[in-house]
Structure 1
Amino acid sequence: TNPKKAGVVALFYPDESQLTNLLLILRNTYPGVHSNQIGFPGGKAEKKDKNLLETALRETHEEVGVKPGDIQIIRALSEIYIPPSNFEVRPYIGLYDKGQAFVKQQDEVEELVEVPLIDFMDDSKMITQILTTSYADNIKVPAFKLKGYTVWGATAMMLSEIKELFKQVL
């Protein structure tokens, strides 16, 4: 009941070779259920935010250094509820074409994970893995294997929605 609200951005951008990439982040290790997990830039809504899009853009700027005005939002995705942390998250698909380097926020972001679109769309990157989570031991979960990381849970669900949308237009 009464979930906290958050907004995140699935940020697509061209690399030096003009190939499309997706930016994910590896969160720092901290005492919490999402410690050291792969996710999208974004985070918790604050009272000053007008809406969850503003939250997603503000948090993306804080975590990876991309100014809100430099992101073209394509569309919102389905909200997703995350039981272990009691968050309801609104993801957005955004495009960033400024070519300026990302600047990670040291206290929240361990690593920037830049995933080529061709890898993201490769069905062989979808796996099933047995994991121990904050709420269950040895459970079988669908996941993506991207850049050496296992991406599962809410982030994998959001990625699946994005992938299905892309398949409709590609």
Structure 2
Amino acid sequence: MTTPRPLTDVELPDWWHPLAEKAASVDGRDITRYLPTEGQGRPAGILILLGADENGPNVILTQRAATLRQHAGQPSFPGGVADPEDASIVDTALREANEEIGLDPDSVTVVTTLPELWLNVTDHRVTPVLAWWHAPHPIAVVDPAEVASISKLPVRDLVDPANRVRYRHSSGYVGPAFEIDGMLVWGFTAGVLSAVLRLAGWERPWEPGRLTT
């Protein structure tokens, strides 16, 4: 795998700086109440890939294949469980993004990581990797058995109050969600996405009374 360019080689756009500064020092408890204990869970990495186009900043989400054993059909960030060959959890996130959507690691500038979070359903210790897509290129589903589709979601649509809801799962879980691009983004992915929008200063007031199931 090509080593991603170091941060010092690429100048971040102005809109990136508040997020980079806040993310570098955020406490995991400001993102979720589910934090791993020492040695708990298998390490995993997810890639929060932020790019920009004529519509402003955007983020890449995938929709998992409906045939998967875990989280079937759910929107998620590219990523997965660490392999023994991975040099770091950053390498895990980049490798998985390459395998899932054909992302060229050399097109990515890794900015920082968020604290480890615990995905209790699968017992994974997840590190979100924040990255600037400084050289966007065409991406596509590599393995339909893992990924059904890819969405490039404009931040301006994600923060639109009309697209913000809370989701109630049959298990009793209630949390933030997004109704966007024909998808319902909820659970762990929505929680992390909400935190990123808040840290960046992009979040707009929305009505948390709107509940979907």
TM range (shorter): 0.7 to 0.9
Deviations 1:87-116 (A, max 9, x none): 111001111132310021222110101111
Aligned residues: 163
- Write the mapping of 1:137-156 to structure 2, written as runs, cut at 5 A: 139-156=173-190
**Aligned residue in 1 for 2:51:** 13
Could you tell me which of 116, 120, 125 is aligned with 1:79?
116
**Structure 2 residue runs without a partner (length 5+):** 1-38, 203-213
Could you tell me which of 45, 62, 66 is aligned with 2:103?
66
| Matched AA of 1:78 | P
TM-score norm. by structure 1 comes to 0.87
2: distance between equivalents of 1:46 and 1:34?
20
**Aligned residue in 2 for 1:48:** 85
- Stretches of 4+ moved more than 6 A in 1? none
1: distance between equivalents of 2:75 and 2:109?
23
Deviations 1:43-77 (A, max 9, x none): 11000011111100111111111122211112211
**Aligned residue in 1 for 2:160:** 122
2: distance between equivalents of 1:18 and 1:50?
35
- Write the mapping of 1:19-34 to structure 2, written as runs, cut at 5 A: 19-34=56-71
Deviation at 1:18, TM superposition (A): 5.9
Deviation at 1:139, TM superposition (A): 4.1
Q: Secondary structure, in 3 states, of the residue corresponding to 1:167?
A: coil
Greater fraction of residues in strand: 1
Deviation at 1:25, TM superposition (A): 0.2
Identity %: 28
2: distance between equivalents of 1:97 and 1:18?
16
Q: Would the aligned equivalents of 1:80 and 1:154 in 2 still touch at CA under 8 Å?
A: no
Q: Would the aligned equivalents of 2:176 and 2:194 in 1 still touch at CA under 8 Å?
A: no
Q: Would the aligned equivalents of 1:57 and 1:68 in 2 still touch at CA under 8 Å?
A: yes
**Aligned residue in 1 for 2:9:** none
2: distance between equivalents of 1:63 and 1:96?
16
Could you tell me which of 160, 163, 168 is aligned with 2:197?
163
- What is the root-mean-square deviation in Å for CA atoms of aligned residues? 1.9
| Matched AA of 1:129 | Y
